[in-house]
Amino acid sequence: MARAQFQKGQKVWVECVGAWAQIEKVQPVWAKGFEEPVRVTYDVGLGREFLGHELLLPTEDPAASTGESWRLMRARNKWQTADDCPHHPFPGTYPVVVTDKADWGGWRVPGAEYDRDPDQIEFQARLIAASPQLLALTQRLAASVDEAPDDAPPEMVELARAARALLKSITDVLVSPTENGGGASQRETQAA
């Protein structure tokens, strides 16, 4: 007897394909004389049906959602050898910020742009890789002042105000400028 392990609409990792997918249909296979399905397959829109053991749930890893797995890696420059670019900080390579546990997905820069100003690109790569920690630090700063605003020094209150404004600019989804004529956030548009 088999029972459904996943539900329609659930996000799953398809191990044999190496991709995320969403359950489109749960398809029980019934046999005469049995009260429960003998097998359950799942249609995830990848061209065939999958069994439950071929699918995995996303792990509830807090690091996955907060970006703590972001890291700076070095990729080999295919177009220039180390001898061709001795002025680069790390000749023969360029920075890649990986935002996925599987060493792909994230931020890369074209070789010509890197060659134009490698120091600036190296700085940008380090900043992007550190941004999840900077975001968490900003949230902690704002929360610490919110806990006891009367006890905080004026400088901390001002820093917390700036931190909240920065967090709002990151977390608020903007409406396209053509929809409301100015690019204000949905909250600002609704409040008006």
Tens-place pLDDT, residues 79-118: 888 888 888 888 888 888 888 776 667 888 877 788 889 9
CA–CA distance, 131 with 166 (Å, rounded to integer): 13
* Domain total of the chain: 2
Q: Same structural domain for residues 51 and 141? A: no
pLDDT at position 49 is 92
Task: Tell me what the mean pLDDT of segment 68-89 comes to.
Answer: 83
Q: Same structural domain for residues 37 and 72? A: no
CA–CA distance, 177 with 180 (Å, rounded to integer): 6
Question: Pick from 48, 47, 59, 64: which is nearest to 12 by CA?
Answer: 59
Question: Pick from 49, 69, 55, 47: which is nearest to 10 by CA?
Answer: 55
Question: Quick check: 184 pLDDT over 70?
Answer: no
Q: Same structural domain for residues 52 and 111? A: no
Question: Pick from 131, 132, 161: which is nearest to 144 by CA?
Answer: 161
- Enclosing domain of residue 15: 11-56
Q: Is residue 130 domain-resident? A: yes
Q: Same structural domain for residues 69 and 154? A: yes
Q: How far is CA 158 from the centre of its chain?
A: 30
CA–CA distance, 191 with 186 (Å, rounded to integer): 8
Whole-structure pTM over 0.85, yes or no? no
- Confidence at 70, pLDDT banded by 50, 70, 90: confident
Question: Quick check: 190 pLDDT over 60?
Answer: no
Tens-place pLDDT, residues 110-146: 777 888 899 999 999 999 988 888 888 999 998 888 8
Biggest CA pair distance of the chain: 76
